[in-house]
Structure 1
Amino acid sequence: MKVLVCETPNKLNFTEQVIPTPKKGESLLKIKRIGVCGTDIHAIAGKQPYFTYPRVLGHEIAAEYVEGDAANLSPGDKVTVIPYLTQGIDIASKMGKPNCATDMKVLGVHIDGAMCEYIVVPTAALITTKGMSYDQLVLVEPLAIGAHAIRRAQIIPGEFVFVIGAGTIGLGIIKLAKLSGAKIIAMDVDSSRLAHAKRLGADYTLNPLGDDIDANLTNITKGDMPTLIFDASGNVQIINKAFNYMAHGGRYVLVGIQNQDIVFSHPEFHKREGTLMSSRNAVKDDFNDIIFKFQNKLLKPDDFITKRVKFKDAREYLSESPEVLKSGIKTVIEF
């Protein structure tokens, strides 16, 4: 089978490998779609935390079940995968948080992922669905990250929610927060992404390259400021500055990740009695939530997929500059 390997930063090559054989507790999948994630782009550029080389990228998966010991699956069934693999015995798992388990290994990050024609994964990681397309399935994992952040935040209908960063994750949060009844303020430096955010339900859009963010937030919220902020940018300067945008009694959820220190004024945060939380990955309930929304037509693949690349052309495409790779919303590699 053909496998695309990221050997070192900015160096990808196709190799030939034997199709793996599943062992007990494993299943063999034939890959049909892989979503290109910010994690992949950062890894290619040499800027991804928790990452080593060489590595096969790819953790947003839509696949066909081939063989294994899944009791409720037959060859040809469509599946997606929870790519955060853990034994499920550590303290986080016991608290219902396998998404941040101490022994967690993420496909395409800590261990080889699915940028290949076939992959073996633990059967327990499979998510089974009926009647869903591969385009829907490849979006389940990235949208589940947004669903997890929404569930962590406990949105109050009618509150002002400020979403920083309108990439795939940010747009997913915008759409899901809108479905939860929030009033959405979206911020990004890319005007095309802000237009996309508007189509997905953002009530207001702001661009820090030309807008006075503090003044606009004050005006929109009538002086209260947003009661809930999501950062999906991973930009440390913006993350630090956004503490000043939080309402008294507000919550701040860090979804994007970067590798520097977060610095903020303790007195300013303290007087707000602010709540700061991170949101990492997703759990099975989040995957099922997104599947339910797809099945009930609350979400559509065309709202997110903006580019398609054939697997045979993936090396050439992924060798483009980070700016090119980040353009659009979601690129899907098709097999």
Structure 2
Amino acid sequence: MKALICEQPGQLALISRPDAKHTDGEVLVRIRHVGICGTDFHIFGGKHPFLEYPRVMGHELSGTVEEASEDSHLRAGDPVYIVPYLSCGVCQACRIGLGNACCNIRVLGVHTDGGMAELISVPAQNVISTGDIPLEDAAMIEFLAIGAHGVKRGAITARDRVLVTGAGPIGMSAIIFAKARGAHVTVMDTREDRLAFTRDRLGTDAIIFADADAEANAARLTNNDWFDVVIDATGAAPPIERGFGFLAHGARYVLLSVVRQDIRFSDPEFHKREATLIASRNAQPDDFAEVVAQMRAGRVPTRALNTHRGSLSDGVQLFQDWSRPEAGVIKAILDL
């Protein structure tokens, strides 16, 4: 089978390797679409903190069942998406229902080879029928679930004023699900094109350009009350630290981003506000179900989000092209 492998930072190759095989307790899936996300670009750029090379990337996956066990509810040809978090099921996190934060987690395309290949065999519980969701849309379910999980972690309601910092795909997913809960959503970013997209296509209520005047503009927008929930999706330490300054009294600060550096903030200011700092990692089964429900309800503009498409065979060159900011990628998908 063909596979796209990242041999070392900045070096991709389309290789041939033995076909993946179906094993007991697993489902063999023929991959049809692979979503490309910031994690993949970080791997390609040598910036991911949890990875060893070489690695076949790809964790936003949809396809069709090639082979399943006789006791499975899935049959050959069924359209499916893959939950890429392989949890152990026995550690302390798994015992309390946090398989997304499993102590021994292996994420496809990060800790173990992923789905930028024609075939992959994964545990049966990680293979979910797409139902009536088109396969190209199903390849976007995982990244959208990240945002849905962060919104859930922030306990966002229609009463909340929400600030999402970082208008990349993960930030956009948080916008979609915060809006689905009826919240008033403001977005802050350094890219005017991304801000315009969130306003025009996602229904963002207000936008803030992340320049020196951002705090003054946020104060004006909120009558100096600031935001009930701040969700960081920037992927960088300086804006994460800056985000503490936008918290209202009693606010929740949700970190979708994970960075290598230590994060510093003013303890007196944080205590004065009696704020809450919340980590949000991966997603849980109910988050995936929420994405599917909102897709079916027409609240996820999948066609607008999927800005770039290409084939796995052209993946080496496409990664080079799509990794440039001027390419304007929001969500790129490789087709097999």
CA contact (8 A) 2:321 2:327 kept: no
CA distance in 1 between counterparts of 2:232 and 2:304 reads: 21
Question: Which residue matches 1:37?
Answer: 37
Q: Report the equivalent of 1:240.
A: 241
Kindly indicate whether the alpha-carbon contact (under 8 Å) linking 1:200 and 1:303 is maintained by their aligned counterparts in 2.
Answer: no
- Helix, strand or coil at the partner of 1:249: strand
Quick one: structure 1 residues 180 and 321, their matched pair in 2 at CA, closer, same or farther if it must change by over 3 Å? closer
Query: 1:293, 1:126 → 2: CA distance?
Result: 20
Give the conservation status (yes or no) of the 8 Å contact 1:144–1:286: yes
- Is there any run of 5+ residues in structure 2 with no aligned partner, and where? none
Deviation at 1:119, TM superposition (A): 0.8
> Which stretch has the larger CA shift, 23-32 or 295-304?
295-304
Determine helix, strand or coil for the equivalent of 1:248.
Answer: strand
Question: What's 1:56 paired with?
Answer: 56
How many Å separate the matches in 1 of 2:118 and 2:322? Answer: 25
TM-score (ref. length: structure 1): 0.97
Report how far residue 324 of structure 1 moved: 4.0
Which residue of structure 1 aligns with residue 116 of structure 2? 115
RMSD: 1.3
2:169 is aligned with 1:159: no
AA in 1 matched with 2:255 = L
2:206 matched residue in structure 1: 204
Deviations 1:287-309 (A, max 9, x none): 11111111222223113101101
Could you tell me which residue of structure 2 aligns to residue 263 of structure 1? 264
Q: Distance in 2 between matches of 1:127 and 1:195?
A: 34
* Preserved CA contact (<8 Å) 1:206 1:213: yes
Render the CA deviation track for 1:128-167: whole Å, top value 9, x for unaligned. Answer: 1311101221111000011111111111213210000111
Aligned position for 2:20 = 20
**Contact 1:147–1:290 at 8 Å: present in 2 too?**
yes
Aligned length: 334
Does the Cα contact within 8 Å between 2:87 and 2:99 map onto a contact in 1?
Answer: yes
**CA–CA distance in structure 1, aligned partners of residues 178 and 157 of structure 2:** 10
| Range with bigger deviation, 291-300 or 9-18 | 291-300
1:295 match: 296
Distance 1:12 1:325, change over 3 A: farther
Following superposition, the deviation at residue 80 of structure 1 comes to: 0.6
Conserved 8 A contact 2:81-2:139 = yes
Trace 1:210-289 onto structure 2 (pairs within 5 A).
Answer: 212-289=213-290
Residue aligning to 2:82: 81
Q: What is the alpha-carbon distance in structure 2 between the residues aligned to residue 27 and residue 72 of structure 1?
A: 11
Cα contact 2:14–2:313 (8 A) shared by 1: no
Q: Which moved more, 1:322-331 or 1:249-258?
A: 322-331
Indicate the residue corresponding to 2:332 in structure 1: 331
Q: Is the 8 A contact 1:135 1:301 kept in 2?
A: no
Deviation digits for residues 169-210 of structure 1, max 9, x if unmatched? 11111111111011111011111111111020111111123x
SS, match of residue 248 in structure 2: coil
Q: Given that residues 68 and 76 in structure 2 are in contact (C-alpha distance below 8 angstroms), is that contact kept between their aligned partners in structure 1?
A: no
> Quick one: distance in 1 between partners of 2:322 and 2:124?
36
> Which letter maps to 1:55?
R
Aligned to 1:310: 311
Distance in 2, Cα, partners of 1:323 & 1:202: 26
- Counterpart amino acid of residue 28 in structure 2: L
Deviations 1:240-291 (A, max 9, x none): 1111110011010000111101000111111111100110000111111111
Q: Give percent identity, aligned residues only.
A: 38
1:247 counterpart SS class: strand
Distance 2:68 2:157 in 1: 43
CA distance in structure 2 between the partners assigned to 1:48 and 1:292 by the alignment: 31
Q: Please report the TM-score for the alignment, with normalisation by the length of structure 2.
A: 0.96
Which segments of structure 1 move beyond 6 Å, counting only runs of 4 or more? none
1:224 aligns to what SS in structure 2?
coil
Map of 1:9 onto structure 2: 9
8 A Cα contact 1:11 1:319, kept in partner: no
Helix, strand or coil at the partner of 2:128: strand
Q: Which amino acid aligns with 1:201?
A: G
The answer to whether the 8 Å contact 1:162/1:230 transfers is yes
